[in-house]
A and B are shown apart, each in its own frame.
Chain A
Amino acid sequence: MGIISYLANPARFLRFSKIATPLFGWLAIIGLGIGLYLSLIGSPLEEEQGHTVRIMYVHVPAAWCAMAAYTGIALASLISFVWRHSLADSAARALAIPGAVFTALTLITGSLWGRPDWGTWWQWDGRMTSVLVLLFIYIGYIAIWNIAERKIAARLAAILAMVGWINIPIIKYSVEWWNTLHQPATVSKLSAPSATAEILWPLMVMGLAYTFLLGWMALRGIEAELVALKAARNTPHSPATVTIEPA
């Protein structure tokens, strides 16, 4: 809680982000450079899947970021709901679009990875279906920000994010149960090859790089929102004059 209440002041946050944002950006670029080299060139081929396995290095970190971004939204929403911190609203809102993009990326890379194995672009695989539902939740969350003025919309969005967060494990369990009920056993699941150091290293570097990228996008989003809020406050509009006098 210490760091959160420290950063809740916009001026302090801007001082923090002035250093943190470029740092995250550069770490993401360097991480992606090393990670892509390791995963696309440095890592070994897999016996059964061949080059296809390399999609894993862009797919798994995207899925991690999709989930991490939603967790961040739910956490920021809880803070905003209980303590009414405006900056927590900005943080939740800034994570939404990057989160949705990572979710879509997870679906696209999952589809590409599964194509040779499945013979189709899509299977109602338990994990893929859960990610699709997560994308629906993201779309609802992004849409609700536009239904009212910021103050009210932020509160409604926070409520929706928390309800969604509690429901995600229930949805995931339901979809996986449903999947075992309906899918013939012959459809193989997307499966990562057994974890050896040669695979783990590129995966961890890519995971870190994606996380820095998510952090960079979120920080940029918060900065943009703070600038927009400040501009709105500075537009020339003065409040009504108030006089109280005997009738």
Chain B
Amino acid sequence: MDAQTSYPMLTTPFKGVSLQASGLSAVRGDKTLFENVSLRIDTPELIWVIGPNGIGKTTLLRICAGLLRPDTGHLQWQINGAAVSAADCISFQPPQGFAKRGLTLAEDFAFWSRINGLKQISDAALDATNLSAHKHTFTQNLSTGQKQRLGLSRLLADQKPIWILDEPMAGLDTSGRAQTAHIIQSHIARGGIALIASHNPASIDNTPARRLTLGTPQ
């Protein structure tokens, strides 16, 4: 399935998107997770965030999404060269997504479309991730792969230029990984930025990428 053709809005280019983090540090309890992390993303690019469990990947991602307050440091997000708020530019996906128990997939998807103020609830985003057949399944009954695909369809529907994803490939089979990689590739190709935590970074063709590694201190 080609996301680009089945979801044409994905081709409208983003311009002047950037994420600038300087001197970030995070303390949890008595523990300093990381110190003085600076990251500047000025061009469409994919950043893999890598490191062992518990080292602070999720914390770093949540800080970059404007959800956690860093203990020191400063963050700025830009579209068209102008500073914007996190809500203007960021889609954030926690591991396994955030589908609500007790709602069907279609209800959950429609709820977030309305909360995000999307003009129309587009079935195309669900089609693009092959979820149309599962619309009436309760979200707690979705498989891991289906939950990850629901997350992708939200990214497609939200149309935000900066994607911050925590383990979007976990629990996916080969074709699922290929589809995710393809959607991420299209996002970078249209001028977007992605920050992705993963245990198992895939190589994505024709996509500028860097690795940010949080390593165990010596």
Q: Do chains A and B touch in the complex (CB under 8 A)?
A: yes
**Are A247 and B210 also in contact (CB < 8 A) when A239-B33, A240-B33, A240-B34 are?**
yes
A235 touching B210 by the CB < 8 A rule?
no
Please give, as numbers and ranges, the residues of chain B lying within 8 Å of A246 by CB-CB distance: 209-211
Q: Could you give, for residues 115-144 of chain A, a 1 whenever the CB lies within 8 Å of some chain B CB and a 0 otherwise?
A: 000000000000000000000000000000
From 19 to 57 in chain B, residues with beta carbon under 8 angstroms from any chain A beta carbon are: 25, 27-37, 39, 46, 48, 51, 55-56
A240 touching B215 by the CB < 8 A rule?
yes
From 209 to 244 in chain A, residues with beta carbon under 8 angstroms from any chain B beta carbon are: 232-233, 235, 237-244
B213 touching A245 by the CB < 8 A rule?
yes
- Judge whether A150 is part of the interface by a CB distance below 8 angstroms: yes
Q: Could you give, for residues 207-218 of chain B, a 1 whenever the CB lies within 8 Å of some chain A CB and a 0 otherwise?
A: 001111111111
Please give, as numbers and ranges, the residues of chain B lying within 8 Å of A150 by CB-CB distance: 29
B209 touching A238 by the CB < 8 A rule?
no
A242 touching B213 by the CB < 8 A rule?
yes
A241 touching B27 by the CB < 8 A rule?
no
A244–B25 alpha-carbon span in the complex (Å):
16
**Are A240 and B210 also in contact (CB < 8 A) when A149-B28, A149-B29, A151-B27 are?**
no
A242–B21 alpha-carbon span in the complex (Å):
14
B217 touching A247 by the CB < 8 A rule?
no
Most buried by B among A151, A242, A246: A242
B25 touching A239 by the CB < 8 A rule?
yes
A242–B216 alpha-carbon span in the complex (Å):
9
Q: Could you give, for residues 137-179 of chain A, a 1 whenever the CB lies within 8 Å of some chain B CB and a 0 otherwise?
A: 0000000000001110000000000000000000000000000
- Judge whether B201 is part of the interface by a CB distance below 8 angstroms: yes
User: Of B48, B55, B211, which contacts A240 at CB under 8 A?
Assistant: B55
User: Of A232, A237, A241, which contacts B215 at CB under 8 A?
Assistant: A241
How many chain B residues touch A (Cβ–Cβ < 8 Å)? 30
B56 touching A240 by the CB < 8 A rule?
yes
A240–B216 alpha-carbon span in the complex (Å):
5
Nearest CB in chain A: distance from B54 CB, A:
10
A243–B217 alpha-carbon span in the complex (Å):
12
Nearest CB in chain A: distance from B57 CB, A:
9
With both beta carbons as reference points, the residue of chain A lying nearest to B47 in the complex is identified as A244
With both beta carbons as reference points, the residue of chain B lying nearest to A242 in the complex is identified as B37
A150–B31 alpha-carbon span in the complex (Å):
12
B211 touching A237 by the CB < 8 A rule?
no
A247 touching B29 by the CB < 8 A rule?
no
A232–B27 alpha-carbon span in the complex (Å):
12
User: Of A149, A151, A240, A247, which contacts B214 at CB under 8 A?
Assistant: A240
Please give, as numbers and ranges, the residues of chain A lying within 8 Å of B211 by CB-CB distance: 243-247
A230–B30 alpha-carbon span in the complex (Å):
10
Please give, as numbers and ranges, the residues of chain A lying within 8 Å of B25 by CB-CB distance: 239
Nearest CB in chain B: distance from A112 CB, A:
44
Nearest CB in chain A: distance from B32 CB, A:
4
Please give, as numbers and ranges, the residues of chain B lying within 8 Å of A245 by CB-CB distance: 210-211, 213
Nearest CB in chain B: distance from A226 CB, A:
15
**Are A240 and B51 also in contact (CB < 8 A) when A245-B211, A247-B210, A247-B211 are?**
yes
Mind listing 12 A-B residue pairs with CB under 8 Å? A149-B29, A150-B29, A239-B34, A239-B217, A240-B56, A241-B215, A242-B34, A242-B213, A242-B214, A244-B39, A247-B46, A247-B209
What are the 5 tightest A-B residue pairs by CB atom distance, in nearest-first order?
A247-B209, A238-B217, A232-B30, A241-B215, A240-B214
Chain B residues packing against A (C-beta within 8 Å): 25, 27-37, 39, 46, 48, 51, 55-56, 201, 203, 209-218
